[in-house]
Structure 1
């Protein structure tokens, strides 16, 4: 594994010059070269030595920045890192062009294996929830606990508001959408995304909104932006259709790690009704329902999510102590 710290795109020799990625106070960003993929990893300096490691995985169209508020809330609790999936955030596309859920999971596993930080407390949102579910199922040795915020697990009847996102995976639709919306400003696009993803968009501060606009403007300059979106959306749809041992619900049943499930009552992308099914599928689960939250509870209510995770951590540490194995 090769690693360099930089606030700019790591593959600058092959990518166009764009504005640097924003790095928040207390954060650093580094580029990690792995076989077939280069990943950008956002981290916070641990408050002290010996904190348990954690890795956070964002959703479709997101980036490691989606976890900044929660990572800050968990200072002193975890040694936190958040990854930009291939083709998102500051990570260039994967060499093989594989944006499937399995492809993204493979990238996460490669990073964890190379970093040697496992087992970690693994967090996933939306697409990242599907990815981390697969990681936890196939590599239980890498996962200490699993926290899923509105995970993209198969639904027989998706919400009407989620249909446009699924349609992005249809060949040609992303290109058509790009042409139809070429006059839209970054501000208009961000407002639309926030209206879709937040239970209450008014909770977004003007500063956070401006940061989101600047990040979208940066990413729209990348030639692979819409391809990464479309192929990853197609990957979710394909994962929904898989049956047998590769099906996501079957893999959820195989997860051994204690699991915290967080669902928002105003989520327009993942049905709130799926919460109880998920609680039944994951064998060692606990469910947090947030009636006013949307699709990104860790951004809307980071303090509530952090409290729930601390409770999970205490519970698992107590269980480990009782069994004589530790955490």
Structure 2
């Protein structure tokens, strides 16, 4: 491979890294020193990320793709269903899963993510993830009221469900939480770049990602060799809190790195083309919690405000010093908001386990 081709792959990898919340996918870049950050005191150093497991259930999507589902808690009068974001898996809800014990909770891996089956690339769409959520609801929460919680692409999946199955909202679905997400216009994002540079990068991203997807083995090997670079870029792109736990950054980077680059490439156009503003009408029948990060580079706070303004019964929580992964960066804010949402969805019922035991709950917008 000549130097010109190596340089092209490096540039494309950098674009892919930005689009996937900061994965260092570039080939040939040297490792960077991050010792000072990694060595400082870390209250989350012993947190058992990725180890919380529930009763496993395999749910078949409408194309017979197996979706990996886990259920925590016994039968109850309400079920909370969590939908994770792009390039992640259900373990991204670690703190909420830990601190909301006592509720009946359902977690699932989006198609081609985590332990779910590998999708036909043509079905890597937000509309399909909405239908997948419908299949999960039918199998894992066949009766009783449900509160839906979605981060990033997971929030888009909830909107897609509302678009295709509006009859569920106000009947089966009695509340929803939308975290770091958008109802459309993501193609105009700057990703925190200067506007002039963003206009140059945006048209290149889909083509660059497709090219990386065709070199998946090569790129995925390179991702594994650039852990320090990935740490630095993930911390910069996904978080805003300068004191964020290095262990949390490592955990997020591992989740992203576990998602094959061709999967990242396949879903990127669906996110860029996402437009579900019309679905907010159905969601307006139930109380909604909208959580936004003031320094979110991927789904800026203005997108959360737009959602909240379109809903008659929305609580908007905007955390000024937060990025794109509120469930990990400010878990107490997310968990506390979910408690309030659940109380609104079923008034008069005390919520179990009020001791958050989670970091940053005292931090508010």
Query: Smaller-chain TM-score range?
Result: 0.7 to 0.9
TM-score for both structures, normalised by structure 1: 0.75
The answer as to whether partners of 1:169 and 1:237 remain within 8 angstroms in 2 is: no
C-alpha distance in 2, partners of 1:161/1:136? 30
How does 1:22-61 map onto structure 2 within 5 Å?
23-25=50-52, 27=54, 29-36=56-63, 37-44=65-72, 46=73, 49-61=75-87
Larger CA Rg, structure 1 vs 2: 2
Give the paired residue count. 283
Q: Answer yes or no: is 1:89 the counterpart of 2:89.
A: no
Give 1:176 shift.
Answer: 7.6
User: SS of 1:262's equivalent?
Assistant: strand
Q: Cα 1:316–1:113, aligned 2, differ >3 Å: closer, same or farther?
A: closer
CA contact (8 A) 1:253 1:282 kept: yes
**Which of 234, 249, 258 matches 1:193?**
234
Query: Where does residue 68 of structure 1 map in the other structure?
Result: 94
Specify which of 170, 190, 211 is matched with residue 159 of structure 1.
Answer: 190
Aligned to 1:323: none
The structural deviation recorded for 1:121 is 0.8
* Residue among 269, 279, 284 paired with 1:234: 269
1:1-327 map, 5 Å: 23-25=50-52, 27=54, 29-36=56-63, 37-44=65-72, 46=73, 49-76=75-102, 78-95=103-120, 97-115=122-140, 116-117=142-143, 119-139=145-165, 140-141=167-168, 142-155=172-185, 157-161=188-192, 168-170=205-207, 172-175=210-213, 183-184=222-223, 185=225, 187=227, 188-200=229-241, 202-206=243-247, 208-212=248-252, 215=255, 219=258, 225-240=260-275, 248-255=276-283, 256-318=285-347
For residues 248-278 of structure 1, the C-alpha deviation after alignment (integer angstroms, 9 at most, x for no partner) is: 1111133122110000111111121223221
Per the TM alignment, residue 81 of structure 1 is displaced from its structure 2 partner at its CA by 1.5
Q: CA deviation at 1:227?
A: 2.5
Segment of structure 1 superposing worse, 190-199 or 22-31:
22-31
Distance 2:348 2:308 in 1: 20
Q: Check conservation: 1:169, 1:231, Cα contact below 8 A.
A: no
Contact 1:166–1:237 under 8 Å retained in 2:
no
Q: CA deviation at 1:65?
A: 0.8
Listed as ranges, the gaps of 5+ residues in structure 2 are: 1-48, 350-365
Cα–Cα, structure 1 residues 288 and 212, in superposed 2: closer, same or farther, change >3 Å? Answer: closer
Q: 1:196 Cα shift?
A: 1.1
**TM-score (norm. length: structure 2):** 0.68
Q: 1:143, 1:57 → 2: CA distance? A: 14
Change (3 A) 1:230 1:298: same
> For 1:34 and 1:280, how far apart are their aligned partners in 2?
33
Q: Which consecutive unaligned segments of at least 5 residues does structure 1 have?
A: 1-21, 241-247, 321-327
Is the Cα–Cα contact under 8 Å of residues 61 and 131 in structure 2 kept in the other structure?
Answer: no
* CA gap 1:177/1:88 in 2 versus in 1, 3 angstroms: same
Do 2:185 and 2:273's aligned partners in 1 also have CA atoms closer than 8 Å? Answer: no
CA shift for structure 1 position 172: 2.8
CA contact (8 A) 1:29 1:40 kept: yes
Q: Secondary structure at the match of 2:128?
A: helix
Offset of residue 49 of structure 1: 4.6
Structure with the bigger RCO (C-alpha within 8 Å, sep 6+) is 2
Closer, same or farther: CA 74–300 of 1 in aligned 2, 3 Å? same
